[in-house]
Amino acid sequence: MNIRIRRELAALLLLGGAAMAALTAMLPEPPARQNNVLRVLAPRLQAAAASLSPYGPGLEKELVDLFGHGAGLAVRWVDSHRAGDAWQALEEGDADLLLGVGLEAPQTMGGPVAAGPAYAEYKPYLVHSSQRHGLRTPDELCSAPVLVADNPAMERRLAEGAEGLSCVPETEVGRTSALTPVLATLEENRARFALVDGGRFRQLQPFFARVRPAAELGDSVEYRWFWNLDRSRVADALESFWDCPETGERIADLTEKYYGFLPEETDYYELHVLSEALEDDLPDYVPAIAKAARRNRIDPLLLAAVIFQESRFDPDAVSKTNVRGLMQITQDTASVLGVNRLDPVDSIRGGAKYLRQIWGKLEPLQLDAWNRWFFTLAAYNVGIGHVLDAVELARQMGGTGATWRELKKVLPLLAWEKYYSQTKHGYARGLQAVHYVDSIRYYYYVLHGIVTLGRPEAEHLRPLLGIVSARWPLS
């Protein structure tokens, strides 16, 4: 289920600055103020309104805003519950842009609509309720209606996957293109199968433990933008945007930010352990987490994710390298921080303080907020010296050293003599640091999503809400 970014979109620099200034300069000034508005359709997508994610408003939302800013257009989002209504609005000129995340243009469409390049693709997945059998034989596709969200592409993929069967599968189409109601129906054991876009399912999978993948089915669905050609100024700007090679680099960065931590296969046992820890262990430490988070200006949900990664909320945890306590602090670090690492409250206070100190030391790198936090987490695990070595190595290899996407490729090289022999701080378990950071990013995502979806575990997290600064993660 990896996102495949098109090679022809790959480039070296972020979109913005000179590239977008040049693009904007090529466009004529609109004759009236209303011509500065870009009307965008995004039928019920997490990618455009990422309520589950703590990392921002969503990949598509950021990408649209980036385009709008560069083209001098104010973005206005147009709600559409059903895919058919969205296509009609685009074809009739009631919208300018449709975010085709897993959507395909109807074969009957004859209006003035253009399609951008596919920038990602996912396999369709047949998923099933874990309270029933998975797909044992292909003919079982016909045993009951297969649920699909309102997306004709999924219906076509089901027909493709059923070719050669002795029966014709039925579909039950949802009222909207939202995927959550479909997964909730399986979670509640009110249906056996559903066919889903693998990319969107991957984002929701941690929150539907009773919905399991059964099989890949049919050809991949592509993600691309569609736009109306009647507004030539907007259409020309969109063509230039997708022709601009820096767009690919920006998509790669956003893909890493929003999805780079999602595991290839969901570990349902690990999620069960997390759920139990939230119920049985977290309440004992809520006051200490809240106090440390407030004092050090850290989202307490992120702090809770760090604690779970480090110790599973076990105050007596000891690692192979003799780091101890809830936040696995070394004795030397505990002495510098002035804390007793074996005392749970002190461990939380010291760990949060140490994270904030690392954040401060990274200021000279001039990273954006989330990359800076990801670097901070890596330094908490492997040491700031090794992180700075990786930054320098990334620069020597032609990169910027300013994104986690770069650093997670370079850090593992510090275990190779060819590379660590050139660094100031020498050998490091860089791959372990990469897994460490992405695990915390994943747990943080899960905790945030539990609260957003109102899952039962959210009651244990509720006392930690409202503490984080409105400027987070910038503060």
DSSP letter at 108 equals T
Distances (CA, A) of 118 to 3, 9, 156, 222: 11, 10, 19, 6
Lowest-pLDDT range, 33-47, 234-248, 258-272, 369-383?
33-47
- Would you say residue 466 has pLDDT above 80? yes
The confidence score (pLDDT) of residue 8 equals 33
Pick from 50, 84, 46: nearest CA to 176: 84
Indicate if 310 belongs to the active site. Answer: yes
Strands 221-228 and 74-78: unpaired
Catalytic residue among 60, 310, 406, 457: 310
The confidence score (pLDDT) of residue 82 equals 82
* Dist CA 171 CA 151 (whole Å): 11
pLDDT tens per residue across span 167-193: 889 999 988 888 999 999 999 999 999
Can you read off the two tokens belonging to residue 15?
């979109």
Read off the pLDDT of each residue in 84-91 and give the average, rounded to a whole number. 90
The confidence score (pLDDT) of residue 46 equals 60
The confidence score (pLDDT) of residue 320 equals 85
The confidence score (pLDDT) of residue 164 equals 83
The confidence score (pLDDT) of residue 85 equals 87
Structural domains of the chain, with CATH: 7-119+222-259 (3.40.190.10), 124-216 (3.40.190.10), 268-464 (1.10.530.10)
Read off the pLDDT of each residue in 199-223 and give the average, rounded to a whole number. 93
pLDDT band at residue 83 using 50, 70 and 90 as cut-offs: confident
Residue 41's SS3 state is strand
Q: How many other C-beta atoms are found inside a 10 Å radius of the C-beta of residue 443?
A: 23
The confidence score (pLDDT) of residue 177 equals 83
The confidence score (pLDDT) of residue 248 equals 95
Lowest-pLDDT range, 164-168, 301-305, 462-466?
164-168
The confidence score (pLDDT) of residue 34 equals 55
Read off the pLDDT of each residue in 289-294 and give the average, rounded to a whole number. 97
- Would you say residue 463 has pLDDT above 90? yes
Q: Which residue has the higher pLDDT, 87 or 442?
A: 442
Range 268-274, long-range pairs (CB < 8 A, 24+ positions): 268/209, 271/206, 271/209, 271/446, 272/209, 273/312, 274/308, 274/443, 274/446
- Would you say residue 20 has pLDDT above 80? no
* Dist CA 382 CA 72 (whole Å): 43
The confidence score (pLDDT) of residue 108 equals 73
| Dihedral angle computed from the Cα positions of residues 415, 420, 426 and 427, in that order, rounded to the nearest 10 degrees | 10
- Would you say residue 341 has pLDDT above 80? yes
Residue 107's SS3 state is coil
Residue 20 near residue 32, CB atoms below 8 Å:
no
> b/e per residue, 181-194, with b = 16+ CB within 10 A?
ebbebbbeeebbbb
pLDDT band at residue 365 using 50, 70 and 90 as cut-offs: very high
* Dist CA 346 CA 326 (whole Å): 9
pLDDT band at residue 104 using 50, 70 and 90 as cut-offs: confident
Residue 91's SS3 state is helix
pLDDT tens per residue across span 24-71: 344 333 333 357 999 999 876 665 666 889 999 999 999 999 999 999
**DSSP string for residues in 248-270:** HHHHHHHHHHHHTTS-SS--HHH
* Dist CA 375 CA 8 (whole Å): 29
The confidence score (pLDDT) of residue 202 equals 93
* Chain position carrying tokens 């905790």: 447
Question: What's this model's pTM, rounded to 2 decimal places?
Answer: 0.90
Read off the pLDDT of each residue in 75-95 and give the average, rounded to a whole number. 88
Strand order in the sheet with 193-197: 171-173, 146-148, 193-197, 124-129, 211-216
DSSP letter at 169 equals -
Query: What angle, rounded to 10 degrees, do the helices at 246-259 and 59-71 form?
Result: 150
**% of the chain surpassing 70 pLDDT:** 91
DSSP E strand boundaries for 163-318: 171-173, 193-197, 211-216, 221-228
Q: Which residues contact 111 (CB under 8 A, 6 or more apart)?
A: 90, 91, 92, 228
Distances (CA, A) of 71 to 15, 67, 113, 355: 12, 6, 19, 39
Residue 137 near residue 244, CB atoms below 8 Å:
no
Q: How many other C-beta atoms are found inside a 10 Å radius of the C-beta of residue 219?
A: 14
Q: How many other C-beta atoms are found inside a 10 Å radius of the C-beta of residue 25?
A: 7
Count how many residues are written for the chain. Answer: 475
pLDDT tens per residue across span 118-149: 999 999 999 999 999 999 999 999 989 999 99
Q: Which residue has the higher pLDDT, 78 or 395?
A: 395
The confidence score (pLDDT) of residue 300 equals 98
The confidence score (pLDDT) of residue 131 equals 95
pLDDT tens per residue across span 400-459: 999 999 999 999 999 999 999 999 999 999 999 999 999 999 999 999 999 999 999 999
* Chain position carrying tokens 């110790």: 311
* Percent helix, strand and coil across the chain, each to the nearest 5: 50, 10, 40
* Dist CA 7 CA 183 (whole Å): 33
Q: Which residue has the higher pLDDT, 315 or 28?
A: 315
* Dist CA 122 CA 355 (whole Å): 36
Read off the pLDDT of each residue in 220-233 and give the average, rounded to a whole number. 94
